Amino acid sequence: MDYSDLTESFKENLEFLWEFPEEGRKAILPYLTEIFKTETKAEREIALDKAIKEIGGNTEKNLRIIELLLQIYSSWNPIQDTPSNFVKDLEDLHFIPIEKRDDVLAFLLEFFSIVEADNSRRLKKIHAGMILPSFIGFHSIVEFRPIIKKPFGTSLNNRIENYNPECIDFIPVFIVQIERDDVQPRTFEFQCEESDIDKMINTLQAVKKDLETSKNSLFERRDTV
């Protein structure tokens, strides 16, 4: 994270954070990782709603602080960044009030202990997401499409006033949307039938079994080295 490029609004939010009661700031910390780990908009809204209800107090002010801390959290590079570098940059930019320095540093130490505790998971995500676009979310709905016995245009008489459609059945069709990161278009959609959904479920269950077998084999090889 290049802290020298912080915006004016970021500075204003920091000043707001330092003015916020200490017990209020600390009450937010236990919820940050749970919120940050969410991957879809719906999951984040649920996690935020849970945090706001349990923290109590002023919702607008709590949300402002949560968004600021998540901004720092998301910009944190688990490979390159350190708390001491972050603090140094803030002090060089005069973003830490001298009269509150001890309280600010104590809070940042607690905050970064939470961020660094998540380093291992984030490193795995970084390496897993290298080279190719990564999966973000999956959405699906079911449509029931009518089956018309003789659709318009399929008979010799194509006069609309003589067209009397007859619905003989319905067929379920699944509309699937997959969301990816760092690629355009971000989402792609396709449709499929129930049998295709069964195939996908079976394939994914098979991959899970492949994973477990591979893990066991890998650990066995390590034990013999």
C-alpha distances (whole Å) from 214 to each of 120, 205, 211 are: 21, 14, 5
Burial class (CB in 10 A: 0-12, 13-18, 19+), 28: buried
Distance, in Å, from the CA atom of 203 to the CA atom of 213, rounded to the nearest integer, reads 15
- 88-116 pLDDT, tens digit per residue, is 888 888 888 999 999 999 999 999 999 99
- Name residues whose C-beta falls within 8 Å of residue 110's C-beta, 6 or more positions apart in sequence: 26, 29
Q: What is the pLDDT of residues 129-170, one digit of tens each?
A: 777 888 888 889 999 999 999 888 887 778 898 889 999 999
Strand, coil or helix: 140: strand
Residues 182-192 pLDDT 10s:
788 889 999 99
* Cβ(83)–Cβ(105) below 8 Å: no
Cα separation, 54 vs 133, whole angstroms: 36
Determine if the pTM surpasses 0.75.
no
> Under a CB-based contact definition with an 8 Å cutoff, are residues 69 and 36 in contact?
no
